[in-house]
Amino acid sequence: MSDQYFSLRMRAERDGEHCGGGERIATPAALAALAAELVARAVDRSGGLPDAVHCTIERLRGEIPCGRLPDLRTWLAADWRDGRRVARSLLLRAGVAGVAADAALAGLAAGAAPGGRVMRGAMIVDAATGARLEPDAARGVRVSRMDLAPAARPAILAALAAAGLGHQRVVEALVLAGKVLAAPALVAELCWSDEPGYLPGYVADPVHGYQRIVPLKAVGDGRGGRALFVRRSAYRADAFIDFLERQPLLFETLGAIRAPESWRD
Ligand code: WAQ
Ligand code: MG
């Protein structure tokens, strides 16, 4: 279906800091309700009201490619420190150097934007050295213009819910990671939420898919973010950022889902 879709993007901020967002793709008929849903999400936050809510709606032109979501598995950790060790091991397995994994883990834990704030988007990290490559360390790169294919959405949500994975954060993170894993030069992604009460995070890589880690942070911690590790030799900033921010992608198929298990080095 061409020319029948719109991109909706919302991001909210408070005290100059990112405090929530959403990226969806909708048919014209679903547009108004979805916009209302995203705005409601921005003002209905436990952490307090936002200072600003930015909402952008844009028509998408041309055919939108359809893909398959990454396989999903869950690694159970003893506590958040153990979870960070699991994340480090998974990053190394994906081809990220120890120095780069450590730099990104420390950066997300401290707040990766200037002044120790939470970034609005993701940092881009050289997988060999840990060097930060994103043009703007406060904004980062915003992965957007991706969603479940509307026709496939109900079945995918039902299957995830049946596996105990129906939480909106899981769905959105799985879709975002699915787009990230399709980016050129991508080695792995590391993520955990800035929401103080949401403790799972994930490491995603093209071979092992979306690997949840529970927990990956301490209760009450309002620091979170995303790190996209890239192979510097193949990395072209323009192509990488354009793909993640501008090229639309829909997902119409779920990957394999494995039962939770414990990670052993
Ligand atoms: N593009 C790039 N970075 C983003 C985006 C985006 N569209 N949206 C958010 N971020 C960055 C930003 O720095 C946020 O502070 C951080 O990621 C976390 O965003 O399987 O909920 O929306 O149980 O809080 C992962 C685990 C949940 C889900 C992640 O992220 C599961 C989550 P949040
Ligand atoms: Mg958030």
Q: What distance in Å separates the CA atoms of residue 174 and residue 156, rounded to the nearest whole number?
A: 11
Q: Which residues surround ligand 2, an ion (CB under 5 A)?
A: 194
Report the predicted TM-score, pTM, of the whole model to 2 decimal places. 0.96
Phi, psi (rounded to 5 degrees) for 261 = -145, 165
What residue type is assigned to position 66 of the chain? C
Ligand 1 neighbourhood includes 260 CB (under 6 angstroms)? no
**Residue (of 238, 249, 101) closest to 180 by Cα position:** 249
Tell me the best of 223, 226, 246 to mutate to test the pocket of ligand 1, counting ligand atoms within 8 Å of each CB and taking the most.
Answer: 226
Taking CA atoms, 64 is separated from 119, 143, 176, 229, 251, in Å, by 29, 16, 16, 26, 10
Helix, strand, or coil (residue 34): helix
Residue 207 identity: V
Q: Does 180 contact ligand 1 (Cβ within 6 A)? A: no
Phi, psi of 194 (to 5 degrees): -85, -5
Q: What is the pLDDT of residue 264?
A: 83
Residue pair 11/45 in contact by the 8 Å Cβ criterion: no
C-alpha of residue 103 to centroid of ligand 2, in Å:
21
pLDDT for res 44: 81
- Tell me how far apart the alpha carbons of residues 174 and 180 are, in angstroms, rounded to a whole number: 10
Ligand 1 centroid to residue 173 C-alpha, Å: 7
3-state secondary structure 185-248: CEEEEEEECCCCCCCCEEEEECCCEEEEEECCCCCCCCCCEEEEEECHHHCCHHHHHHHHHHCC
pLDDT of residue 5: 95
- Residues of the chain scoring pLDDT < 50: 1
Ligand 1: residue whose CA is nearest its atom 32: 193
Distance 62 CA to ligand 1 centre (A): 28
> Looking at residue 20, what is its pLDDT?
85
Give the pLDDT confidence of 77-89 residue by residue, as tens digits.
999 999 999 999 9
